[in-house]
Structure 1
Amino acid sequence: MDIKQNICPKCGGPSEGGLCSSCRAAELEWITCDDRVLCTHCPTCGSLKQQNTWTDCKLEKDKLIDEVALSAVHIHEDVRSLSVSLETRDISPNRTSVNVGVKAKLYGVPVEHKCRVLIVWSKEQCDRCSRLSGGYYEGTIQLRADGRKPDDYEKDRANAIAHSAEDGLQETGERLSFITETRETKDGLDIIISSHNIGDIISRNIVKELGGKVTRHPKLVGEKKGIPVYRITYLVRLPKYQKGDVFEENGSYYEIRGTDSGGVKYFDLQDSSTKTTRNEPCGRLIGNVKDSEFAFVNYTEGNTAGILDPKTFENKECLTYPWLEIKEGSTIRFLRDYDNERIIFVG
């Protein structure tokens, strides 16, 4: 041994100064394990409760056991090359025993440790499921239409928009923003919602896609910790005409291409021009392009086309429009103007 070499004061072995690596590793409590861990979960949705806060859990039971067991193991920051093995055993419906084996290196010295963690499973209904089961709500979105009733398509789209908004909020962690109930009424559709935020988002998205406008009608229902509590009715009133409607005005036919706060955009089926007006059209409604029929084109000649009526199987000659590219042997969509006994091509 070099006389200048440092000596470990505990074991007498070589040292770089002070205790050697083996003695430092032997004296340091490099690992501790909690004997018992309480895991509170919601039996309905599987959410976990941590320090009075609920969070969604997407882990399978085996993965969750591993996560909970590992949370009970506390490792010193100087530990390196960590390797952990877990052996689990369910000893009762609400008890899981986990044998934990740990191998690592501490100051370059191999170390290992074994311990047992008991996971106690506790069931408790989470904040979201508690509100859902109790029918909690903070507002109602009423889907209505101006001078008519929303049709099935509009109600289905509004419902889909609402659930898409709900999914998005749940993904971002807004657990208490959800749809409590959806019900059809004689005038349209009511969507019962649990928070003002989801009500704002859903109503705004419905108008963005289907047109119309939203008015908010708050009602004071009490106080919570000195703060006023309001329930809000979001009246979503769809326009008289909806996207795809075809109307007749002064002998000409037009298709609604969009409705928003800026006005109504419509397409001239004769000359293919697009116009926008702030006032709703006053024409006669013919139908909607989503309900159009399909006809086989027998022949074309100039500005006329002969089609096979799919109802009567008769050949009918109809006026065509310059913007339409109609070819013999193809099919074309059309609506019937029963009042004028005309076939209106819509593309």
Structure 2
Amino acid sequence: MSDSHASREFCPRCGDPVPDREEPLPGAPRERDAVLCDACYFEDFDLVDAPDRVEVQVCASCGAVHRGNRWVDVGAKDYTDVAVDEVSESLAVHVNAHDVTWAVEPEQVDQNTIRMHCRFSGIVRETFLEEETVVPVMISRGTCTQCGRRAGGYWASLVQVRGTDRTPTKEEDARAVEIAQDIIADREEAGDRNAFITETKETDEGVNIKLSTNQLGQAVSTRVTRELGGHVKEYPTLVTEDGDGNEVYRVTYAVRLPKFIGGDVIDPDDGDGPVLVRSARGNLKGIRLATGDGYESRFEEGETPSARKLGTVEDAVETTVVTVEDEHAVQVLDPETYEAKTIPRPDFFDADADNVRVLKSRAGLHVVPDDGAQAES
């Protein structure tokens, strides 16, 4: 017998000779079935390992899919694509196969069942193989953590929007809610499923916004004060402990908007006359009605200067210009008594104007700029 026949291996199952195969690298494990001939090898060979069925749990409210230990937003109009993904992840192709191609064709059986027809092909031991399998996908519906918390009224932080010695305007309350909605939208777009507004409630003192996390409450209150002015204080309350023994707090973020807003006319009581407020963000800013000079409070951010409110630009009325006396004075008709009165002429006064808007207050009669109603809030 020749050396080649003497070294040939035989199949331990059927006794047929086994074709010579490439030996594994030194130290690499040898496949247990490598000693089998092709016929015996393929008798028990499965190109694809597929589960008998796949179950997919979806949220009946928002459509999220439960994967692993968390809920995932998939943005699907139906669950065919979800079924394809779930089945694809559950299939395993034999490690010895190469040049593998596959296709999955869904068949909608009913609302809760999708039958997945899977077709695979590949090359094993230089042999082309094809295999088909059918995997039913069962859709079950439940409630995700987020929707459960929403339905249960869960909240972790409360943003209270209030004014300092005043009630916030409807516009301020509405803007605070818009800010919260914008932040939630950004978090949702980034994939944060724990971000939601539990409730917004209008009260006589201002709007209350309940949010799902303390981080959201902090973000909303910070942006509100940055845009509308004022300051915020935090008031944590211990409510429970989590499973690891960590203390869990609810936090109230008390937002206090500035005492004055754009369009208010105030008297800083510094001897230089009334100020039309243009902005209350940080330091209060405006213009002097007597001269048109700029004004900015020297108080720290979030503080309110000592001043009294005389009215708003909405209180101003139109009256007749009698004469321009000089560069510092103009004569107008008092809108209540119709007497001619000499009042300060600010820089913004139009010398060619026949009529001007004036505000009468305890500080006297003053010209108001035409654009005063559009002062920045």
Q: TM-score range by the shorter chain?
A: 0.7 to 0.9
CA RMSD of aligned residues (A): 4.1
Contact preservation (8 Å) 1:72, 1:117: no
Instruction: Report what 1:240 is aligned to.
Output: 259
2:273 aligned with 1:251, yes or no? yes
Question: What is the CA–CA distance in structure 1 between the aligned matches of 2:217 and 2:106, rounded to whole Å?
Answer: 45
Question: What is the CA–CA distance in structure 2 between the aligned matches of 1:78 and 1:160, rounded to whole Å?
Answer: 58
Question: What is the CA–CA distance in structure 1 between the aligned matches of 2:178 and 2:357, rounded to whole Å?
Answer: 28
Instruction: Name the SS for the 1:191 alignment partner.
Output: strand
The 5-angstrom pairing of residues 309-324 of structure 1 reads: none
TM-superposed CA distance for 1:193, in Å, is 1.7
2:56 aligned with 1:44, yes or no? no
The 5-angstrom pairing of residues 50-69 of structure 1 reads: 50-61=67-78, 62-69=80-87
TM-superposed CA distance for 1:83, in Å, is 3.2
- Structure number with greater Rg is 2
Question: What is the CA–CA distance in structure 2 between the aligned matches of 1:274 and 1:77, rounded to whole Å?
Answer: 78
Question: What is the CA–CA distance in structure 1 between the aligned matches of 2:98 and 2:117, rounded to whole Å?
Answer: 21
Q: 2:121 aligns with which of 93, 99, 103?
A: 103
Against the structure 1 CA distance between its residues 55 and 117, is the aligned structure 2 distance closer, same or farther, given a 3 Å change threshold? same
Give the TM-score taking structure 1 as reference length.
0.74
TM-superposed CA distance for 1:235, in Å, is 0.8
2:304 aligned with 1:280, yes or no? yes
Against the structure 1 CA distance between its residues 75 and 264, is the aligned structure 2 distance closer, same or farther, given a 3 Å change threshold? farther
TM-superposed CA distance for 1:195, in Å, is 1.8
Structure 1: where are the runs of 5+ without partners?
296-300, 305-317, 329-333
TM-superposed CA distance for 1:253, in Å, is 3.6
TM-superposed CA distance for 1:322, in Å, is 5.3
Question: What is the CA–CA distance in structure 1 between the aligned matches of 2:196 and 2:174, rounded to whole Å?
Answer: 18
Against the structure 1 CA distance between its residues 88 and 335, is the aligned structure 2 distance closer, same or farther, given a 3 Å change threshold? farther
CA offsets 1:171-197 (integer angstroms, 9 cap, x no match): 334322321110100100011122212
TM-superposed CA distance for 1:15, in Å, is 6.2
Against the structure 1 CA distance between its residues 80 and 323, is the aligned structure 2 distance closer, same or farther, given a 3 Å change threshold? farther
User: Aligned residue pairs: how many?
Assistant: 314
TM-superposed CA distance for 1:153, in Å, is 1.1
2:336 aligned with 1:346, yes or no? no
Structure 2: where are the runs of 5+ without partners?
24-33, 319-323, 330-342, 373-377
Q: Percent identity at matched positions?
A: 23
2:192 aligned with 1:174, yes or no? yes
Structure with higher strand content: 1
Against the structure 1 CA distance between its residues 319 and 106, is the aligned structure 2 distance closer, same or farther, given a 3 Å change threshold? farther
- What is the identity, as a one-letter code, of the residue corresponding to 2:277? E
TM-superposed CA distance for 1:140, in Å, is 1.6
TM-superposed CA distance for 1:23, in Å, is 4.8
Question: What is the CA–CA distance in structure 1 between the aligned matches of 2:367 and 2:154, rounded to whole Å?
Answer: 53
Instruction: Name the SS for the 2:284 alignment partner.
Output: strand
Instruction: Report what 2:284 is aligned to.
Output: 264
Against the structure 1 CA distance between its residues 123 and 335, is the aligned structure 2 distance closer, same or farther, given a 3 Å change threshold? farther
Against the structure 1 CA distance between its residues 171 and 219, is the aligned structure 2 distance closer, same or farther, given a 3 Å change threshold? same
Against the structure 1 CA distance between its residues 346 and 248, is the aligned structure 2 distance closer, same or farther, given a 3 Å change threshold? farther
CA offsets 1:306-342 (integer angstroms, 9 cap, x no match): xxxxxxxxxxxx9986579x8x9xxxxx975254374
- What is the identity, as a one-letter code, of the residue corresponding to 1:238? L
Contact preservation (8 Å) 2:276, 2:286: yes
Q: 2:22 aligns with which of 8, 17, 26?
A: 17
Question: What is the CA–CA distance in structure 2 between the aligned matches of 1:105 and 1:283, rounded to whole Å?
Answer: 88
Contact preservation (8 Å) 2:258, 2:280: no
Question: What is the CA–CA distance in structure 2 between the aligned matches of 1:286 and 1:81, rounded to whole Å?
Answer: 82
Instruction: Name the SS for the 1:345 alignment partner.
Output: coil
2:130 aligned with 1:112, yes or no? yes
2:250 aligned with 1:231, yes or no? yes
Against the structure 1 CA distance between its residues 78 and 257, is the aligned structure 2 distance closer, same or farther, given a 3 Å change threshold? farther
Instruction: Report what 1:315 is aligned to.
Output: none
Instruction: Report what 2:168 is aligned to.
Output: 150
Question: What is the CA–CA distance in structure 2 between the aligned matches of 1:44 and 1:166, rounded to whole Å?
Answer: 18
Instruction: Name the SS for the 2:165 alignment partner.
Output: coil
Contact preservation (8 Å) 2:47, 2:131: no
TM-superposed CA distance for 1:95, in Å, is 1.5
Question: What is the CA–CA distance in structure 2 between the aligned matches of 1:109 and 1:285, rounded to whole Å?
Answer: 94
Question: What is the CA–CA distance in structure 2 between the aligned matches of 1:157 and 1:17, rounded to whole Å?
Answer: 73
CA offsets 1:36-95 (integer angstroms, 9 cap, x no match): 001011100111112332222212323222212212222245655443322222223322
Against the structure 1 CA distance between its residues 99 and 252, is the aligned structure 2 distance closer, same or farther, given a 3 Å change threshold? same
Question: What is the CA–CA distance in structure 1 between the aligned matches of 2:71 and 2:77, rounded to whole Å?
Answer: 17
Against the structure 1 CA distance between its residues 248 and 102, is the aligned structure 2 distance closer, same or farther, given a 3 Å change threshold? same
Contact preservation (8 Å) 1:287, 1:335: no
Which sits farther off after the overlay, 66-75 or 189-198? 66-75
